Structure 1
Amino acid sequence: MPHKSDSIIPDAIVIGAGFSSAILTHTLAKSGYSVIVLEASERLGGRMNTLALNNHAIDAGCSFIHGYSHTHPLHSLAMDLGVDIEHPPPTNDLIIDSNGPLDPGAQRSIQAALSLAINVAQDSCADTPLLHLLRSSLSSSLSDQHLLHLASQLIHSLDAPLGIPVEDFHDARRFHWEKPLQGSDAVVKGGYATLLNAVWDDAVRTGKVSVLHEHTCVSVSTKDPVKCIVSTQRGQLESKVVVCTAPLATLPSIQFQPPLPQHKQEAITDTKTGLLEKLIFTYSERWWSGDANPSFTLLPTTNSQHTPKEILLSHVLNVQTFSHPSLLIYLPPGAIRALAMYSKQDVQRAGAEVLAERLPRVAGVAHAASTPLAAHLTTWKKDSTSNGATTTYTTPQQLHALQVPSTDGRLGFAGEHTEIHNHGSVNGAVMSGFREAHRVSEYLSRRATSEALTSFNPRSLPCATTVGLPDPIPLFNEPFSGFRMRSATLRIVSRSTSSILAHISSTPMRFPFTCTCLPRSSTWTIRDSSAIIRLLLS
């Protein structure tokens, strides 16, 4: 029989309040399901965080929506919520070495050679270090030793987007095997917070959502056959389903009972979480020269790493510009590790000095213009709610293991680390949210139908009853609870009666049992002398 509290416990508990949680919660709430969201921090968004620096909206976490088009999962949702997603104008990258901006011809040569080397590495099936493959390809493409040296340095412009140094990519087969969404990069007008807040607000307006801040998940138990129990540092909560959207690097801090399958535990341990921090500055005016929408790649000028400034100068730095007077440095993992011993203020000061010294300046602009009005350094690695950036250096098998829900379907997982071809990006978070919402909805629908049937007590009725079922009838993986009966007629209200009858007729029974469907009727007559009926439809 259904648990006595089954009608009052919420349908789902969602652990984490990042973007995958927002999509999942919004979709479930719009479908009429009740959801409790547990968030460890005091804000929503997870690794999505839009800052207001000098009145400019800058995304300190997720930046772009990759592969955006009218078929993208976010397109219709953003339109429904009145949020603008736009394609920024193309950037014009300027590579700068110790002598200043490269000659345009030299820049084109090394960019083309590196692009070819990346394609070769992508097509390789060899268990070979990625750096070796890239350097070998560059040597075949460039005969000029100076250009080869510059191109070899440019390889490390991949460090920041990969989240690990190229030299740590020991198996090139793990490099760019994914088949991500097709389209071009897009941004949310006003920053990601505009879209995130719109999704959460629309979900909360349904009256089906409760968000509990500063509730750190300690354990999840699905031992009870009916309800799931989630424990936080503030107490326990119950639900029919739990979906964990916590970042991959935080999963080891949650105790699951019963323990997760061995293959999932191994995937959690073996899948790498990348390092990526952002160093952001805003200014009174644009003091750097370049085309209308430039970006800069700063090649190393020293090997010394005795100060924060030297650490930055010894790494390849990718620098993004905006329509407003702001600059953003994507700090590569090597620099992040070396800078960990310094204060935020020291790193910000060093970053401002490096930009002021190395970027080409607009003629006539005062030197004081290169002094930032505001600065911000992200610390995702030190944040206990993230413990780093997103997944990297992984395999389809590991990601699939991270995606699979529990056998009974009551414990699921979402987040970028659970999407095979779009992990490490907003797309992975979005698609996993929609995927889990669909799966949970199907499970709750099956469960509701099961409860409706198992709550039927023929002894309390004269001779017949009518039960309404959804159409089409969902199939069941869990057994119906039994009831005792001598003789009863069960009237099924559904256009799928014949398919139900076919399922029951083909299901092995543990007792003498007859089930007939009368002609031109949706009435089943079920007869049994004393046995407890347990219908197992699978």
Structure 2
Amino acid sequence: MESRCNSNDSLDKASYCSTVERKPTSPPSAIVIGSGFAGLAAAHALQNASFKVVLLESRDRIGGRAYTDYSFGFPVDMGAAWLHGVCEENPLAPLIGRLGLPLYRTSGDNSVLFDHDLESYALFDMDGKQIPQKLVTEVGEVFDNMLKEANKLRQENSEDMSIAKALAMVLERRSDLRQEGLANKVLQWYLCRMEGWFAADADTISLKYWDDEVLLPGGHGLMVRGYRPVINTLAKGLDIRLGHRVTKVVRGKLGVEVSVDNGESFNADAAVITVPLGVLKANSIKFEPKLPQWKEEAIRDIAVGTENKIALHFDKVFWPNVEFLGVVSSSSYSCSYFLNLHKATGHPVLVYMPAGRLAHDIEKMSDEAAANFAFLQLKQILPDASEPINHLVSHWGSDTNSLGSYSYDSVGKPHYLHEWLRIPVDNIFFAGEATCKDYTGTVHGAFNTGLMAAEECRMRVLERHGELDIFNTAMGEEAGFVPVPLLISRM
């Protein structure tokens, strides 16, 4: 490893050398680790505040868990795909509006299915018979009532329990909510969709905190052209080093040294850590000195779920003109659902979306086997389905750069741990969806924490050097993020 003072890839004047005083005239500096939405937002904001910034990314691409694939000849988001909260209050709305990117709204504010409305579904049983919409609606109301009854249990019990256990207790109390036969299979499908929202199985989701996430108004909008244009805009002009997997972060009173697996080291006044929580859990990055116990506890106890996508590209559309196709079954594990991208984008693509244990089981398959598994699910409900001409498969749970899709609250672990994860340690700052207490698991949550970490970093570094008034203080308006109306459709 090269020394602090001689590394060719250090931040030049912005570098901190342990044996040389930092010159007051040199710009403040920061290293951002991870180029997802949090990292890009932090780097973008710090650079606009006159910091010298380098962004280190382990992948060979930017974007993190937001990944738009173009191999079908058009954009398909294989990670983050929705803007949760299609409204001006969403911190990403000004940028998306300014870029003129269209959104397809998939639900209003109060859908029991969170990101879709009931009327946008076509549900089928395993024999390929479509479930009457009246039954789907009735069972949806039952499921909503079950969740309300579960909330009563939450108020009565000081100890936490899983959503699965709470719903079982509700059915013991309220036999009138029990469903039999086909209705019970539809109920299991509702549970399956809830598990998809958290990317986790119901027996691991906290009853106490499952609805602590703040939902912005305006419903949920699918990014018709994918998130890549937003990512490219945030990355413009940044010094981004791809293929730089960080292995160690050493912090001192006057600076940080960040080591990469290729032997290089980078030095700066501060670092912003935006890697996914799964990577922190795996101890892929060593911290010296060790992180405080409360920070390690947050990393250990916040849960990470997995939801994957298997995109099937067809030469023609042979399915109903609805946003979602669902397959009901006797257990939530056996249920499935397909997002119909043709409805929103005009392209003949269905996206199978397994979550939790099912997602992990499918990740053990080859891509070919996984795509075939998804297609067989589709053939059960649409026997005349034509073979896909191409496929894409995500692996968020096993990908060493992510090790999960997004965070959620597991049983018995307090929600404030997300805030603990966000709080800085000396001159190391943290950002990412898992550090966002209100908007956990969302792109705008990740983006917002990146801006927050950048502002905290700016204040801390400039205060330390008595230069707070020398540099720009605005972190958003100078970037041109002025309000522009969002382009929203609903077919």
* Residue 370, structure 1, aligned to residue 386, structure 2: yes
The runs of 5 or more residues in structure 1 that have no matched partner are 304-312, 362-366, 452-467, 473-538
Equivalent in the alignment of 1:285: 316
> Which string of whole-angstrom CA distances, capped at 9 and with x for unpartnered residues, describes residues 86-116 of structure 1?
2435561122223421122211111111122
| Structure 1 residue 471 displacement after superposition | 11
> Which string of whole-angstrom CA distances, capped at 9 and with x for unpartnered residues, describes residues 388-427 of structure 1?
1111125322111101101x3x110000010001111112
Taking structure 1 as the reference length, what is the TM-score of the superposition?
Answer: 0.74
Q: Aligned to 1:67, which of 46, 71, 85? A: 85
SS at 2:440 equivalent: coil
Q: Is the 8 A contact 1:277 1:380 kept in 2?
A: yes
Q: Which has the higher Rg, Structure 1 or Structure 2? A: 1
SS at 1:101 equivalent: coil
Equivalent in the alignment of 1:389: 405
C-alpha distance in 2 between matches for 1:78 and 1:298: 34
State how 1:174-323 maps to structure 2 within 5 Å. 174-201=209-236, 204=237, 209-223=238-252, 225-234=253-262, 235-251=264-280, 252-289=283-320, 292-300=321-329, 315-323=334-342
Equivalent in the alignment of 2:202: 166
Q: Aligned to 1:347, which of 367, 370, 375? A: 370
State how 1:452-467 maps to structure 2 within 5 Å. none
Q: Is the 8 A contact 2:106 2:219 kept in 1?
A: no
C-alpha distance in 1 between matches for 2:449 and 2:184: 42
| Structure 1 residue 338 displacement after superposition | 2.7
Q: Against the structure 1 CA distance between its residues 332 and 11, is the aligned structure 2 distance closer, same or farther, given a 3 Å change threshold?
A: same
C-alpha distance in 2 between matches for 1:175 and 1:245: 24
| Structure 1 residue 296 displacement after superposition | 1.6
SS at 1:73 equivalent: coil
| Structure 1 residue 187 displacement after superposition | 2.9
C-alpha distance in 2 between matches for 1:75 and 1:321: 24
* Residue 94, structure 1, aligned to residue 122, structure 2: yes
Q: Is the 8 A contact 2:192 2:333 kept in 1?
A: no
Q: Is the 8 A contact 1:229 1:237 kept in 2?
A: yes
Name the structure, 1 or 2, with higher relative contact order (CA <8 Å, separation 6+): 2
| Structure 1 residue 151 displacement after superposition | 4.4
* Residue 338, structure 1, aligned to residue 366, structure 2: no
Q: Against the structure 1 CA distance between its residues 143 and 351, is the aligned structure 2 distance closer, same or farther, given a 3 Å change threshold?
A: closer
Taking structure 2 as the reference length, what is the TM-score of the superposition?
Answer: 0.80
Q: Aligned to 1:45, which of 56, 63, 88? A: 63
The alignment's C-alpha RMSD in Å is 2.6
C-alpha distance in 2 between matches for 1:212 and 1:162: 32
| Structure 1 residue 146 displacement after superposition | 2.8
Q: Against the structure 1 CA distance between its residues 390 and 6, is the aligned structure 2 distance closer, same or farther, given a 3 Å change threshold?
A: farther
SS at 1:277 equivalent: coil
C-alpha distance in 1 between matches for 2:43 and 2:472: 24
> Which string of whole-angstrom CA distances, capped at 9 and with x for unpartnered residues, describes residues 47-81 of structure 1?
1101124323110000101012012111222334x
Q: Is the 8 A contact 1:68 1:185 kept in 2?
A: yes
The runs of 5 or more residues in structure 2 that have no matched partner are 1-18, 108-116, 474-491
Q: Against the structure 1 CA distance between its residues 122 and 425, is the aligned structure 2 distance closer, same or farther, given a 3 Å change threshold?
A: farther
Count of aligned residue pairs for this structure pair? 426
User: Percent identity over the alignment?
Assistant: 22
Q: Which amino acid aligns with 1:218?
A: T
Equivalent in the alignment of 1:129: 162
Q: Against the structure 1 CA distance between its residues 143 and 355, is the aligned structure 2 distance closer, same or farther, given a 3 Å change threshold?
A: closer
Q: Is the 8 A contact 2:245 2:260 kept in 1?
A: yes
